[in-house]
Structure 1
Amino acid sequence: MTSREIRSRFLTFFKDRGHRIVPSAPLVVKDDPTLLFVNAGMNPFKEYFLGVSNPKYPRVADTQKCLRVSGKHNDLEEVGRDTYHHTLFEMLGNWSFGDYFKEETIGWAWEFLTEVCGIDRDRLYVTIFEGSSDADALERDQEAYDFWKAILPEDRILMGSKKDNFWEMGDQGPCGPCSEIHVDIRPEEERRKTPGSELVNQDHPEVVEIWNLVFIQYNRKADGSLEPLPEKHIDTGMGFERLCMVLQGVRSNYDTDLFTPLIREIGKITGKDYGQSEEDDIAIRVIADHIRAVSFTIADGQLPGNSGAGYVIRRILRRAIRYGFTFLGAREPFMFRLVGTLVAEMGEAFPELAEQRRLVENVVREEEVSFLKTLEQGLARLDAVIAETRGKTVDGGRAFELYDTFGFPIDLTSLILRERGYELDRQGFDAAMKEQKDRSRAASESAAEDWVKVHPGPASEFVGYDALEARSRIRKYRKVESKKTGTLYQLVLDTTPFYPEGGGQVGDSGHLEGSGGAVTEILDTRKENNEILHITEALPEDPGAEFLAVVDAERRKQTRRNHTATHLLHQALREVLGSHVEQKGSAVQPGYLRFDFSHFSKLKDEELRRVEDFVNERIADGLDVEIKKGVPMQEALEAGAMALFGEKYGDTVRTVRFGDSIELCGGTHADNTAEIWHFKILSESAVAAGVRRIEAITSDAVREYFADKERVLEAIRTRLKNAQDPLQAVESLQEENAGLKKELERLKREQAGNLKGDLKSALDKRDGVHFLARQVDLDASSMKDLAFQLGGEVEDLFLLLGSEQDGKALLTLYISKGLAAEKDLNAGAIIRELGKHIQGGGGGQPFFATAGGKNPSGIGKALEAAASYLQ
């Protein structure tokens, strides 16, 4: 059976037995702080087992994508080294929430494996929980034993320990005994020598667990004791990859049709055939596994990044790239080319993969391009570090430099060193890392004095949505000393109109007015431990007095216009680019706005124009901004409100709506979009792989922008002697300039041609090699042309030219290809050494290379040193 048929038969089998077939949940977990990714089939149903919510269906079946790469369930380092560990895998499962229990579960599992799948009964073994003598004092799972005994011989029912056959969600919560089904796929001769019963749970690659039936019947309480659950549940999980291996008659998961198309494509791209070399095979297995994990995770909304789940995905991808680079000779991006093969095989079962194919391909390719640069630089530097190492232990401080300068992952450094027979001084690396963190901490350290209480009371009341002024008293204050900012004070008011920095919006500034007219400037407003802090350089003369807290109205007005513009921009980007666009960050200042969003490529000029037009049309429409407070979270989401990735929301939220745009937002906004006046994009750039950034201005900043452009245009007119058509005048100047450049190039070529004869006659023949090292007055391009002209006319040529141009030193080295091969010479390596004389560096091909440096006085020494390479 193909994997498609196996998956289909499983789901049909349980559908026919009253189960609701549900789609796989996304891999990325956003509402469970204990998980980054779904790592078991039961994760999406956790709320039902915990009793947090009631299930919609009492019987459910599915195939769930799972990822195990971090935390307790971490298979990453084993992947590729054996034939059955994976990062991403599918878990087939059937579930009962207070419905059927052990008898039906055991009977259906046996029926599916033996009758539907046709697995030989004599190859199957089962385990049950043997009981425990610890504080739980649990008895053997006699109920499961009796049901199994009615199906297969007793010698195939094995006792399992609490470690293997008692499943627990965590330190607390639902749990219960489980019954595992194992299959023995060894050849008949081996089975006769050693019974499969002796190899169950012994990590034998061909006697493997295929299905785990968990009987959730207890609840683990906070004090560690167990109590029976009022309702009993079923949670089963069957490894799809292993099931395919068994049913397709192969001895490795990687030999199933889940992986063979990817393996063939990897071989086609890299020219390495699977099965010819164990070293190559490990690399191919790593790549085939990891492209699945990375592709599915990106399709589910998690882009590679520098922290959290994003860092995990980046690490997986970089691990695969490194294997391809080191073992398969892959020097160009290639993994993105595997996505199409994966979609062809799995896109039908998981449509999100097909829908997000373009995004996945672009993100993977961009990550590959970026890391290959890092890898090449880092590996060259690591080679140098190894060459300088005495003994077999590489200094941890040097490894840290590699990490800090090149972003070279320390786990890759460690892995490469092991492969080459070296060890890493990990303590030295950790010490260097700690030293850097300590320096950073010292630079930003601040010393805060204790709070001085003035008017104790409840937490600050924020009134800034409706007012820019308020009568206030200081509840408490403290002094903060910092090397970076000097001495500042933090004030907490009982009532404040000042908006604290949050959600991308900058904090308000303004002042406090005392009764005698004294003013205390508020530099910034922030939030800490749910307190609103007002930052000042000095305390009011009388902290106990009543003040008028006044927000800088003009600054707030510009800020809130820009915040409303970010919502319009978000809506425009989704309209123009697609619904895959998600906000990844923002900065809302009074003078400009910045918006980061998920997208896979640079925006074209036409796309930017359409985005700008979309926003400005909504501004021109004069849409009223509708704000609602205290809206139940679910009600807001059902109304279509967008919840931003990574933001924390309470049970009730604040919604901001204008036109078709509705988002959850705590920031301040314009009353009407017409207040924004106009929206202008200043720049669009990349922030990270798959994340773009737009910087833009609105309102008064746009007026100043257009006024500045007008001033520049007028200055150009003046310099063009008030030409009627400045554009035509500039084009004429460009044409004239192009003609002069061509004439200059012609003169340079003539100069080089005249020089060629002089150099040719000056060649020194040494042991059959035509040698010359000479300083000339030519630029880099002319030296290259001259070198290649001489190379075409003179055999066995070793030519080094040096030149000083604009205060910089240039070197050009040409070695005839035949000579380079015969004498084992490499122009790129030689020019790097010669470049040291001019305090620079360079590189190139074995027959032609160039270098540049800042020390022209070293040209002579470089020319003198050239002859030594022919000795």
Structure 2
Amino acid sequence: MEQKSKWTGVAVRKTFFEFFEQRGHTIVPSSSVVPHNDPTLLFTNAGMNQFKPIFLGTIASTDDISKLKRAVDTQKCIRAGGKHNDLDDVGKDSYHHTFFEMLGNWSFGDYFKKEAIEWSWELLTKVYGLDPGRLYVTYFEGDSKMGLEPDLEAKELWASVGVPEDHILPGNMKDNFWEMGDQGPCGPCSEVHYDKVGGGRNAAHLVNQDDPLVVEVWNNVFMQYDRQKDKSLKSLPAKHIDTGMGFERLVSALQDKSSNYATDIFTPLFDKIQEVTGARPYTDKYGKDDTDGIDTAYRVIADHIRLLTFSISDGAVPNNEGRGYVVRRVLRRGSRYARKYFNAEIGSFFSKILPALVEQMGEQFPEIVKKQQDVREILDEEEEAFARTLDRGERQFEKYAAQAVSNGSKKLSGADVWRLYDTFGFPEDLTKLMAEERGLTMDEGEIAVAREKAREASKAVKESVQTFAKLNVHQLAELKDKLQVPVPNDEPKFFKGDTTGKVQLIYTGTEFLKSSKDLPPNTPFGLLLDKTNFYAEQGGQVTDTGRIVIDDVAEFEVRDVQQFGGYIVHNGFLKYGELTAGVEVICEYDELRRHPIRNNHTGTHILNHSLREVLGDDINQKGSLVDQDKLRFDFSHKAGVTIPELKKIEHMSNEYIRQNCKIYSKDVELDLAKKINGVRAVFGETYPNPVRVVSVGIDVDMLLETPENPEWRKVSVEFCGGTHVDQTGIIKDMVIVEESGIAKGIRRIVAYTGEAAHRVQRDADEFSKRISVIEALPFGPEKESEVKQCTVDLNNLVVSTLTKEELKTRFAKVTKSVLDEQKKRQKAESKTALDAVTGHFAKDENKEAKYFIGHLPISANTKAVADVMNHFKSKDKERSVYLFGGSKDEGAVVHGVYVGTGLASQGVTAEKWAAAVSEVVGGKSGGKEPTRQGQGTNAEKIDEAVDIAGKWLAEKLKISE
């Protein structure tokens, strides 16, 4: 019991760091779990990811880790998508996790097998005190096909530290040869396995057999080869050590638990889940023993909150693509577990568990403390969006499941599985999980067919629709007078959530129909309802998108919503089924799309207010665009907005946002609303009566009590029919990314809010680090190349205007230092080149020489070659020179010729002379007699080219004689 209490998770991690720090290792912080600069990975899935550039030899000399010889770390890892995906196993067994820590010690060309093996055994048995009799080690058995010998050195080293012979086991290429990928660094590895049962048994036969009680805890990779394109192996110039030890598995062993989930890594999370849900305590039961499924649900929720928190903190925001989709899938999977097994209300469930995780792991990973509020908001937003369809989706699943049972197939059709995703937002793996609970199967091929069919139908509609049909004055009259269709109620658009309405008519662009029955498939049309929560495009705010459905009967995809004379037309196409006038439908706008639109619209109001406060009363709105990506605001102003002014505007806007003001709105009689001091409206715009007044921070009723109160001028008050956030804090941040003139006296500002603002802030930070790397580079080809590319990338960088100005100012100094050094070296090389040639002619034996042919002690410097040629052209016209610069090592060669009057009189021309040389060095030459210059492509032939230049001239002079 004493040992169990001693080895808390925190103590295990701390001891690991201290052990290797005492042996000369530098503690390196974990890299982001989101590899923003590595497009080959969805997530960081192994400890070696951040050290990959060292192993590949691509590390910049100025990178913080480039000087490392020994390192120790704990790396945040996620395996829930792509090549490594443990999501399906989480909850079912005792040792799989989508998020985990990988402890590691590293040697970059320093120590190798002997030290790695000795320290592994010492730490596990002497420091941590694990029973040596319960440990088993493996070594690479060799592979004759690959021409690889058994790693007997590792075997002998394990024996030398005291591992019994029957605990040292051979392993094949799959288990004991580690490779970074199809190409690149690789090598044999040696694993350490732990028998959780112990008791004197020999578990050698269970090693690497997927036995949950005999698990791998540590892997020592001996990185010594480089896999080539042809699959052959070359020895690396330096040998490296790359180790990875599963933190959760190690803690489980040290606390003598058969399950990772029974350790203090997870118990604080289980305690919080129990507190939030009121469920029975966690009992660590599995499979059939977990009769009510609650222990499995505990494990799933605890695992998923870890992945969600760390991925979102590091910038993987839920969406429908790549790593963002993985995050969304995990959250929806977890939400369904919480609802089904804990009867939890979905909408703010995971954010209630979040504080326990932050308290437990925030000291080791401070980024989750810093980002806690952002994570909370994103979790709630995503849960809320899924909660809207979860009930209906589960009911629909039960129908599909009943059909599968009744028809005897016990298989869900691919079309049904796809519909559960497409209509109700159920990821396929969630449906698969639900199917397994019911003993049902799914056919991946059928799902793929359904997915492709839907994609093709969507593509066909997209290609056929240029613009959706509009209602003209005659059709509006027909609706109102002949058909007597009332104007719909669109008040629900101002509130979150779905609404129900009834189909009034179907509009084809030319006629109104009662039914869609006779329309060809994939025909675009408009839908008129008596009630809707969809926002029709107006006031600069883009239209909502989403769907109008009758569950399992019909689904209409809404791609555009427009308003004509009070009538709202939902434009799109029918994905399946048919719609008839009078039927009740569910209106689902895309909440995850509208959320950033709301941010940007309220942000526009705040920006408008700040512009007036900073630039004066002559600021009037001239146009705006509010969509899910950005806000764009056009305004009258005679001059460009200066950087100090922009700084004030952005600062004032963010101060307003951070006050977390409540947003108030109310329909007010137009004449009364106009009296509110400082109210903003678009000049020339016709407003309805009553008009909707939106106030940021002060109740509209309070404004109306004393409308002319001068204090109201300090408040953002506008006439607006758009959708807004409930409180400004939801916006998080505003970043101005562009300020420009679009017409005489009209300026434009583009800004980002929310997650988009955070994304550009991360991009700015990454670019700042890039400049730091370039700053630290010594002058040379690498720095010159980086400066050139960075100049292009900086011009295209979309970040805060203020930050970009700072980056440009800073980078200008780097550019100037490079230019100054280039000029300095250019001048020095020109002098070196000229001194070499004039020095040649100054020698007694060469004073009468008519020409010089030679390889100058300079780089491939065209300017230096030209300077020497020009010297002779202007000051020593009789003599000729053929000059070469560059080298094989540099990989570049330049050459140039000046034919003086002495050789010219003998028929020598620069064009023909240079042509003979170009045949050897490659490339072409150009110029006007008596000079010619060129850049060769065959730098390795520079000496041969010098020789050819001499031979050609000798032959020419011989002929002329």
Pick the TM interval, shorter chain: 0.5 to 0.7
SS in structure 1 opposite 2:804?
strand
Among 103, 106, 109, the alignment partner of 2:117 is: 106
**Deviation per residue, 1:303-341 (Å, 9 max, x gap):** 111111111011111111111212222234322111111
**Deviation per residue, 1:481-523 (Å, 9 max, x gap):** xx999xxxxxxxxxxxxxxxxxxxxxxxxxxxxxxxxxxxxxx
Among 43, 55, 58, the alignment partner of 1:49 is: 55
* d(CA) in 2 for partners of 1:60, 1:429: 46
Q: Does 1:261 align with 2:271?
A: no
In the superposition, relative to structure 1, how do residues 212 and 573 fare at CA in structure 2: closer, same or farther (>3 Å)? farther
* d(CA) in 1 for partners of 2:217, 2:735: 56
* Equivalence for 1:662: 804
* Equivalence for 1:532: none
SS in structure 1 opposite 2:317?
coil
Contact (CA 8 Å) 1:633, 1:651: kept in 2 or not?
Answer: no
1:672-821 correspondence runs (5 A): none
Among 19, 25, 28, the alignment partner of 1:22 is: 28
**Deviation per residue, 1:513-560 (Å, 9 max, x gap):** xxxxxxxxxxxxxxxxxxxxxxxxxxxxxxxxxxxxxxxxx999x999
* d(CA) in 1 for partners of 2:733, 2:452: 49
* d(CA) in 2 for partners of 1:69, 1:382: 24
Percent of aligned positions with the same letter in both sequences? Answer: 46
> Mean alpha-carbon deviation: is it higher for 142-151 or for 410-419?
410-419
In the superposition, relative to structure 1, how do residues 327 and 116 fare at CA in structure 2: closer, same or farther (>3 Å)? same
* d(CA) in 2 for partners of 1:50, 1:344: 38
* d(CA) in 2 for partners of 1:26, 1:632: 14
Contact (CA 8 Å) 2:34, 2:315: kept in 1 or not?
Answer: yes
Among 334, 337, 360, the alignment partner of 1:323 is: 337
1:587-626 correspondence runs (5 A): 602=725, 604=727
- Unmatched 5+ residue regions in structure 1? 448-482, 486-553, 579-590, 592-600, 626-630, 642-648, 667-871
Q: CA deviation at 1:267?
A: 2.1
SS in structure 1 opposite 2:23?
coil
Q: CA deviation at 1:395?
A: 3.6
Q: Does 1:11 align with 2:17?
A: yes
* Equivalence for 2:281: 273
Q: Does 1:300 align with 2:314?
A: yes
In the superposition, relative to structure 1, how do residues 2 and 439 fare at CA in structure 2: closer, same or farther (>3 Å)? same
* Equivalence for 2:495: none
Q: CA deviation at 1:614?
A: 14
Kindly provide the amino acid, as one letter, of the partner of residue 26 in structure 2.
Answer: R
* d(CA) in 2 for partners of 1:325, 1:284: 12
* d(CA) in 1 for partners of 2:748, 2:399: 63
* d(CA) in 2 for partners of 1:300, 1:269: 26
Contact (CA 8 Å) 1:166, 1:178: kept in 2 or not?
Answer: yes
SS in structure 1 opposite 2:110?
coil
Q: Does 1:341 align with 2:356?
A: yes
> Mean alpha-carbon deviation: is it higher for 428-437 or for 364-373?
428-437
**Deviation per residue, 1:19-41 (Å, 9 max, x gap):** 11011111001111210110000
* Equivalence for 2:252: 245
SS in structure 1 opposite 2:107?
strand
**Deviation per residue, 1:56-84 (Å, 9 max, x gap):** 21111000000001122111101100000
* d(CA) in 2 for partners of 1:564, 1:413: 54
* Equivalence for 1:147: 157
* d(CA) in 2 for partners of 1:274, 1:362: 28
* Equivalence for 1:216: 223
**Deviation per residue, 1:726-772 (Å, 9 max, x gap):** xxxxxxxxxxxxxxxxxxxxxxxxxxxxxxxxxxxxxxxxxxxxxxx
Contact (CA 8 Å) 1:181, 1:212: kept in 2 or not?
Answer: yes
Q: CA deviation at 1:665?
A: 11
Contact (CA 8 Å) 2:193, 2:217: kept in 1 or not?
Answer: yes
* d(CA) in 2 for partners of 1:145, 1:636: 44
* Equivalence for 1:383: 398
Q: Does 1:89 align with 2:100?
A: yes
- Count of residue pairs brought into register by the alignment: 523
Kindly provide the amino acid, as one letter, of the partner of residue 284 in structure 1.
Answer: Y
Kindly provide the amino acid, as one letter, of the partner of residue 24 in structure 2.
Answer: G
Contact (CA 8 Å) 2:134, 2:198: kept in 1 or not?
Answer: no
Q: CA deviation at 1:268?
A: 2.5
Q: CA deviation at 1:285?
A: 0.7
* d(CA) in 1 for partners of 2:107, 2:31: 18
In the superposition, relative to structure 1, how do residues 305 and 123 fare at CA in structure 2: closer, same or farther (>3 Å)? same
In the superposition, relative to structure 1, how do residues 401 and 103 fare at CA in structure 2: closer, same or farther (>3 Å)? closer
* Equivalence for 1:822: none
SS in structure 1 opposite 2:218?
strand
* Equivalence for 2:212: 205
* d(CA) in 1 for partners of 2:251, 2:801: 51
More strand by share: 1
1:414-453 correspondence runs (5 A): 414-424=432-442, 426-445=444-463
SS in structure 2 opposite 1:254?
helix
* Equivalence for 1:168: 179
Q: CA deviation at 1:117?
A: 0.3
SS in structure 2 opposite 1:229?
strand
* d(CA) in 2 for partners of 1:263, 1:561: 52
> Mean alpha-carbon deviation: is it higher for 237-246 or for 564-573?
564-573
Q: Does 1:127 align with 2:138?
A: yes
SS in structure 2 opposite 1:42?
helix
* d(CA) in 2 for partners of 1:602, 1:632: 28
SS in structure 2 opposite 1:266?
helix
* d(CA) in 1 for partners of 2:343, 2:109: 55
Among 402, 417, 425, the alignment partner of 1:407 is: 425
SS in structure 2 opposite 1:214?
strand
* d(CA) in 1 for partners of 2:314, 2:729: 29
Contact (CA 8 Å) 2:736, 2:800: kept in 1 or not?
Answer: no
Contact (CA 8 Å) 2:137, 2:167: kept in 1 or not?
Answer: yes
Q: Does 1:179 align with 2:190?
A: yes
Kindly provide the amino acid, as one letter, of the partner of residue 10 in structure 1.
Answer: F
* Equivalence for 1:354: 369
Contact (CA 8 Å) 1:576, 1:607: kept in 2 or not?
Answer: no
* d(CA) in 2 for partners of 1:274, 1:341: 16
Q: CA deviation at 1:387?
A: 4.4
CA root-mean-square deviation: 4.3
* Equivalence for 2:39: 33
TM-score (norm 2): 0.50
In the superposition, relative to structure 1, how do residues 324 and 140 fare at CA in structure 2: closer, same or farther (>3 Å)? same
**Deviation per residue, 1:780-805 (Å, 9 max, x gap):** xxxxxxxxxxxxxxxxxxxxxxxxxx
Contact (CA 8 Å) 1:166, 1:177: kept in 2 or not?
Answer: yes
SS in structure 2 opposite 1:219?
strand
Q: CA deviation at 1:430?
A: 3.3
* Equivalence for 2:8: 2
In the superposition, relative to structure 1, how do residues 565 and 83 fare at CA in structure 2: closer, same or farther (>3 Å)? farther
* Equivalence for 1:719: none
Q: CA deviation at 1:362?
A: 1.9
SS in structure 1 opposite 2:794?
strand
Contact (CA 8 Å) 1:572, 1:614: kept in 2 or not?
Answer: no
Contact (CA 8 Å) 2:650, 2:734: kept in 1 or not?
Answer: no
Q: CA deviation at 1:422?
A: 3.2
In the superposition, relative to structure 1, how do residues 564 and 248 fare at CA in structure 2: closer, same or farther (>3 Å)? farther
In the superposition, relative to structure 1, how do residues 338 and 445 fare at CA in structure 2: closer, same or farther (>3 Å)? same
**Deviation per residue, 1:78-124 (Å, 9 max, x gap):** 11000000000000001111111111111111111111101111111
* d(CA) in 2 for partners of 1:290, 1:247: 24
